[in-house]
Structure 1
């Protein structure tokens, strides 16, 4: 159960909300009788909507504070707000004399403009909490689609009942109540359709929402000059949006929110102006922002002028985007915050490799990696790859899953999932990780625990590559690992160690290069990371690190280690030739690294795009100290740039 004890700020806001609802009921009864019953009916409708969400077995959000909690628990103040918002929206639509076919769209846009401002503000105070925070300052995009659909559905049903029902006053009083059931049914149906569309992963959720709201705006904008604008200014109609916009801005500037999320200093006032412009549009003549000559009765609207305005707006939007400061370089690595998905970074990944052994002594290697690409509207996707090396059976199984959306936003942790039914999952933080993967008849369930301090490569700061771009890179080495592996229906308990790599930055220039990467774990509890990158431009990057038994890490420069290739292996799948076997010399110590299984090549069928084809696998280590390793070989196949030899 979540505590619903109200804080002082919540008490003040909800007391004002209660008073506002009471005042609007009195006003509507005296001056706007036709919409009086909308307020209590919308309050009931709001409760039905809220209860349907918070009473789910796994609710998408939950409330933390309430002066009076209704079943669910749903705070009374929340459902009162539904009543006042829907009243304000319908009163505005009526004042504008919006044609019936566009009324739901206008109503939905007006209501959603309020939520774009209020939800980030109120969530920042913890008044309600999203189970899976989303991309819009912690709020899922589905929430805003839901707001639009809720208000548009109720408006459509209310207008239909009012228009086609009897004109007797008793029926008109019942109309707001009769709209509740069909509006709820429409909401459920439309949202199921939207979630199905989102689940098809044609585009990422941000782009899908932008497309939907952009379409609705294109429908509404050409109609605006034709809508009525000669109404007498009504403060009561504006009371609810004014209250919510003002409260949200007060939270933004009166709390640390403007420092934690500086983008909101521009975003929330902008949406406030946009929303209030919509609510004030019926009074534009009285306010002097437009002349009556612009009314359709006096002059027709120029389509060319409207298209010109849209073009200027689009150019301004592009200019604003171009002028936005580059958020790429974000200071030193910040843990545990940087374990989470970082929206400011173009390319990033979460990477686990490890060695497992059953109680009977059967050995396995595993790989789980989530890649995220966020550049341009056409490059926003998540590629997930998993692999299992069965040493005893001399087999290697791999699979990959592509989704056209970015990982969900979280705070100080990662929560990653991929594949049908989320068969690949990774959840964790700075201390504990949980992994689940299914590939080729193998099912892996693991718990990983950090045993050493994080290894901050490059001193924990951004590292510029010689060939362009930069990277942030840190690891958690020697993670104690336990769990189970199921092979063809038989489950084994396993123990071992894992290596977690987290890397992010401007990495497009790097990922088209070739490289050899070694994660070496020695029996004396030392860990060595080495890599060398070589592209056709002959711009070499070589670096590494060594972590001692006590967890102290020091960097290795390129001249402090050598890697000698001992043999080759030709893939029967792709025909690519990879190094196979290495002599690694680190500060005078010599180690020999040999693959445990020769064929550990990932070579998925990608269809229309080239996709990564690379070798990554479990290896044994002999020489100065025995141990085990994971080795990655990239660029030896059909990469964009690639490399033939090191």
Structure 2
């Protein structure tokens, strides 16, 4: 009789992470962002100390909790090629953000109003990939959900479209909270048009790196079998949809509702989580 297979340390970590996320889906996807909305707005209005509401380590910690479903879903898919690709993507993320702060290109002249954790060279958050990767990966997953694994151009175009939609939701809320702002505010809730031209450029490069890094068939199979893989997108839409609603930013609210409706009516969404 053969001996039973012994789980590797990686397999045990993956199994534990999956179990923890699965058992706490509602808390992670809904409760955490609702508490975040209340705390951030209370801090912005001076109802609680800014040191609490805008505490950089609390912000990173909360974000790590909300992205845990994405991490748990993606971890089993990380091989050598994916690890190298994501590392290159992290370097690109820091590089393009540093260029933006130092030169005003490609996003326009902007600066951070809140330190989102330790700052790289005192200019951009060291934990920037924690905030940027989910936007990119959730957009990619949503494109796969609706397109399957088509040719690169179609998958690329839809992923980029969702990335832009998410930034159209994120930036107005972040500006209203004072997270960052532009020297010359634009007409879209204080966000200039150059910001979105910059996202077209940086998003295109980032998506190209991502698409070369992952096995699309394996990701799609994981997406179809993993009920929580897109829960971070749910968290994002709850958090930034409500923050924008509080500040009267109704176009971002409409975009958030549209994407939420898309998820709710898809075959992927499991109403049992509610």
The TM-score normalised by the length of structure 1 is 0.29
Say if 1:28 and 1:36, in contact at 8 Å, map to a contact too. Answer: no
Distance 1:52 1:155, change over 3 A: same
Q: How far apart, CA to CA, are the structure 2 residues paired with 1:237 and 1:287?
A: 9
Any idea what the Cα deviations from partners look like across 1:595-621, whole Å, max 9, x if unmatched? Answer: xxxxxxxxxxxxxxxxxxxxxxxxxxx
**Aligned residue for 1:29?**
75
**Aligned residue for 1:135?**
187
Distance 1:285 1:23, change over 3 A: closer
**Aligned residue for 1:80?**
130
Correspondence 1:149 to 2:201: yes
Say if 2:172 and 2:244, in contact at 8 Å, map to a contact too. Answer: no
Any idea what the Cα deviations from partners look like across 1:521-556, whole Å, max 9, x if unmatched? Answer: xxxxxxxxxxxxxxxxxxxxxxxxxxxxxxxxxxxx
Say if 1:41 and 1:83, in contact at 8 Å, map to a contact too. Answer: no
Say if 1:133 and 1:140, in contact at 8 Å, map to a contact too. Answer: yes
Q: 1:284 aligns with which of 228, 245, 266?
A: 266
Q: How big is the shift at 1:118?
A: 1.2
**Aligned residue for 1:119?**
171
**Aligned residue for 1:571?**
none
**Aligned residue for 1:51?**
98
Q: How big is the shift at 1:129?
A: 1.5
Q: How big is the shift at 1:152?
A: 2.5
Q: How far apart, CA to CA, are the structure 2 residues paired with 1:24 and 1:285?
A: 18
Correspondence 1:251 to 2:243: yes
Say if 1:85 and 1:111, in contact at 8 Å, map to a contact too. Answer: yes
Q: 2:234 aligns with which of 237, 242, 256?
A: 242
Say if 2:244 and 2:253, in contact at 8 Å, map to a contact too. Answer: no
Distance 1:156 1:79, change over 3 A: closer
Q: 2:114 aligns with which of 56, 65, 88?
A: 65
Q: How far apart, CA to CA, are the structure 2 residues paired with 1:270 and 1:54?
A: 30
**Aligned residue for 1:8?**
52
**Aligned residue for 2:20?**
none
Q: How big is the shift at 1:57?
A: 7.5
- What secondary structure does 1:84 align onto? helix
Distance 1:7 1:119, change over 3 A: farther
- What secondary structure does 1:284 align onto? coil
Any idea what the Cα deviations from partners look like across 1:463-505, whole Å, max 9, x if unmatched? Answer: xxxxxxxxxxxxxxxxxxxxxxxxxxxxxxxxxxxxxxxxxxx
Unaligned runs of 5+ in 1: 1-5, 168-227, 259-263, 289-646
- What secondary structure does 2:251 align onto? helix
Say if 1:104 and 1:151, in contact at 8 Å, map to a contact too. Answer: no
**Higher relative contact order at CA 8 Å, sep ≥6: structure 1 or structure 2?**
2
**Aligned residue for 1:348?**
none
Q: How far apart, CA to CA, are the structure 1 residues paired with 2:54 and 2:127?
A: 10
Distance 1:117 1:83, change over 3 A: same
Distance 1:232 1:28, change over 3 A: closer
**Aligned residue for 2:15?**
none
Distance 1:7 1:149, change over 3 A: farther
Unaligned runs of 5+ in 2: 1-49, 216-220
Distance 1:13 1:78, change over 3 A: same
Correspondence 1:275 to 2:259: yes
Any idea what the Cα deviations from partners look like across 1:395-446, whole Å, max 9, x if unmatched? Answer: xxxxxxxxxxxxxxxxxxxxxxxxxxxxxxxxxxxxxxxxxxxxxxxxxxxx
Correspondence 1:17 to 2:59: no
Q: How far apart, CA to CA, are the structure 1 residues paired with 2:103 and 2:181?
A: 15
Alpha-carbon RMSD: 3.4
Q: How far apart, CA to CA, are the structure 1 residues paired with 2:118 and 2:213?
A: 33
The TM-score normalised by the length of structure 2 is 0.62
- What secondary structure does 2:191 align onto? coil
**Aligned residue for 1:474?**
none
Q: How far apart, CA to CA, are the structure 2 residues paired with 1:146 and 1:238?
A: 27
- What secondary structure does 1:102 align onto? helix
Structure with the higher fraction of residues in strand conformation = 1
Q: How far apart, CA to CA, are the structure 2 residues paired with 1:57 and 1:142?
A: 10
Say if 1:25 and 1:36, in contact at 8 Å, map to a contact too. Answer: no
Distance 1:270 1:121, change over 3 A: same
Say if 2:141 and 2:230, in contact at 8 Å, map to a contact too. Answer: yes
Say if 1:60 and 1:130, in contact at 8 Å, map to a contact too. Answer: yes
Q: How far apart, CA to CA, are the structure 2 residues paired with 1:36 and 1:162?
A: 5
How many pairs align? 207
Q: How big is the shift at 1:149?
A: 2.9
